[in-house]
Structure 1
Amino acid sequence: MRIPSELLETLTAVVAEGTFEQAARVLRVTPSAVSQRIKALEQRLGRVLVVRTKPVAVTEAGEAVLRLGQQLAVLERETLRELGAEPASERPPVVPIAVNADSLSTWILPALARVAEREHLVLDLVRDDQDHTARLLAAGTVMAAVASDAVPVAGCTSTPLGRMRYRAFATPAYVRRWFPEGVTASALERAPLIDLDRKDHLQVRFARRLARRAVDPPRHYVPATADFAMAVRLGIGWAMLPAAHADEAEAAGEIVDLAPGRHLDVPLHWQQWDLRSSLVDAIAAEVRAEADRVLS
């Protein structure tokens, strides 16, 4: 069985753009033609590949086919590049990368900026929790990811980057109110904490380590990294912060360390498709160099 490249290109466009109509504009065909191509691909493979919602959702079978389409596109572009056959008007390649929020706001952007300028590429950064970014890689929606899992996704490689160190912080007034007798298990059960989103379990992991038992405290959700750190400084709750988000406020006395001498280290790994691509390798080299400089 062969999969025509035109059908793979159409599936990739549909998933990237989110709708058949937008994919049709990118491919310069009618929405009906896009629909017919997706239907033809599904019939050829005998599997449903996308759920026709807005935006479209990719099925498990669709993820495998999408990954194939994206990898073939990368290999085709690399081959044309080596042959000097890329048209002068060729749009810069789009490289989707999944990155956790704290890496995005602290250390990785300078590396990505350098390689984007040098290689003339467009970055499509997807923010997700470091425990979930590998899932995006497995789904084929990104080419590389900063992930906490050392075990590579099937068809990918994994390289350790280092560790991000987190400490627990709160305002002095918050500590006086919620921890008057110290950071006890009962106080950790009652004291509101701040999570970035519902995938963020860093605070609860640390609280359970301190309490030496399971705790289920009240949670605030503040889904933006800068606002997250500000929420801690405003006394809304306590949270784990990396040094880049805490040092200045700690030095000014705005926040204090809840558990001096205790911290949580999160290992980070660079996972990428295991294929020959000078572009992806160039990105990886910049990211690893910056990680060597910044991470523990």
Structure 2
Amino acid sequence: MLSSKSCEAFLAVAETGSFDEAAKVLCLTASAVTLRVQALEKDLGQVLLLRERPCRVTQTGQQLLEHLQHQRLSEHHLIQSLQGQSQAHYFQQFNIATNADSLSTWLLHVLQHVLITEKVAIKFLIDDQTQTHQLLETGRVNACISTEKRAMKGCEAHLIGQMHYRMVATPEFAHQWFKDGIDREKLRQIPAIIFNDRDLLHHQVILKLFGLNQQSYPHYFVPSSSAFADAIHLGLGFGLLPDDQIGTHIDTGKLIEVMPKASTAMQLYWHHWKQQAPALEKITQVLLTQAAQHLDGVKS
């Protein structure tokens, strides 16, 4: 059996990236954390952490990290299931991974009622929609919204709807850069608005239509859904916005769709473990029955 105290120390260092920060979390000295991690490495006969700034896990360390994170989440899940609503004044806590656009547009509206009535508090983890299911796989979240269609072992995946994106810019920006049309060479000079370096949607569209990778054209990284839309409205660049954020701006002339062929429909799936706490099961049912009303609907 692995030492629980040593595993706790390793987990804290792996997640904070520092022995000093892990010591603060565990209310220990940094030397005590170091000794516990060293003891664990000795027991396993493997180096688990690379002592860098920040600390990084080795391949073996990553395996152990995923195991411990999953174990922690499973224990939390068990406690939630056993306690149920016996202590009604307590809020149950779950971790859910989602893309930023869903969180900023429709997700909270759909979940509002069930979160209040079931006394549930959610820790939302934000990542690109192509990456969120990895957080579920490593045990960091109870469920996730993802573009991944296939369910992982021990999980279920349900299509809940799709978000539609259009490539837009302000009329002034479009007149300055796109008045004579768009081609591969012009795009090398035109600034784009991209969420962050893990946002693949813009990259995939431009690569498909013009054969340009992200390093071929100037771009902003704006890792906030509201600030992302603001950047486009301020005329800093062009980018893909979901219909929810576009609203009536195209109809009123505040925005122009500059690349109709770049229009993209992104299907979203709800992934969760097959065994769920009752409150999380209710969240699942709400998403399956109501999400499509806020999205473009479920396409078979």
Identity of aligned residues (%): 31
Tell me what 2:107 maps to.
108
Kindly indicate whether the alpha-carbon contact (under 8 Å) linking 2:70 and 2:140 is maintained by their aligned counterparts in 1.
no
- The 8 Å contact of residues 73 and 141 in structure 2, kept in 1 or not, is answered as no
Q: Deviations over 1:101-150 (max 9, x none)?
A: 21121112234554544444443322221122233333443333322222
Could you tell me which runs of 5 or more consecutive residues in structure 1 were left unpaired when the two chains were aligned.
none
Q: Which amino acid aligns with 1:202?
A: L
| Aligned counterparts, 1:14-93, within 5 A | 14-16=13-15, 19-53=18-52, 56-84=55-83
Q: 1:264, CA displacement in angstroms?
A: 0.6
- 1:283: Cα distance to partner? 3.9
Give 5+ residue unaligned stretches, structure 2. Answer: none
8 Å CA contact 2:81, 2:277 repeated in 1: no
Partner SS, residue 161 of structure 2 = strand
Q: Is the 8 A contact 1:64 1:139 kept in 2?
A: no
State the match for 1:144 in structure 2.
Answer: 143
Deviations 1:190-230 (A, max 9, x none): 4322111222232233334444x446332222222111111
Q: Distance in 2 between matches of 1:20 and 1:277?
A: 34
User: In structure 2, the residue corresponding to 1:129 is in which secondary structure?
Assistant: coil
> By how many angstroms is 1:41 displaced?
2.8
Q: 1:104 to 1:55 in 2, by over 3 A?
A: farther
Greater Cα offset, 120-129 or 192-201 = 120-129
Structure 1 length normalisation: TM-score?
A: 0.79
TM-fit CA distance, 1:261 = 7.3
2:288 maps to 288
How many equivalent residue pairs?
294
Aligned to 1:178: 177
Q: 1:290: how far off?
A: 4.1
Distance 1:291 1:43, change over 3 A: farther
In structure 2, distance between residues paired with 1:17 and 1:203: 31
Q: Distance in 1 between matches of 2:286 and 2:48?
A: 35
Contact 1:170 1:237 in 2 (8 A): yes
CA distance in 1, matches of 2:37, 2:113: 37
Alignment partner, residue 258 of structure 1: 258
Q: CA RMSD in A?
A: 3.5
Q: 2:196 aligns to what? A: 197
Quote how far apart the aligned CAs of 1:71 are.
Answer: 3.4
- Partners of 2:85 and 2:34 lie apart in 1 by 29
Match of 2:94 in 1: 95
Task: Tell me how far 1:78 sits from its aligned partner.
Answer: 4.4
Q: Compute the displacement of 1:171 (Å).
A: 1.3
Q: Which runs of structure 2 are paired with 1:204-283 in the superposition (5 Å)?
A: 204-211=203-210, 213-214=211-212, 216-260=216-260, 263-283=263-283
8 Å Cα contact 2:193/2:221 also seen in 1: yes
Q: Which of 241-250 and 23-32 deviates more?
A: 23-32
Contact 1:63 1:139 in 2 (8 A): no
3-state SS of 1:250 partner = coil
* Cα distance in 2 for residues equivalent to 1:178 and 1:276: 51
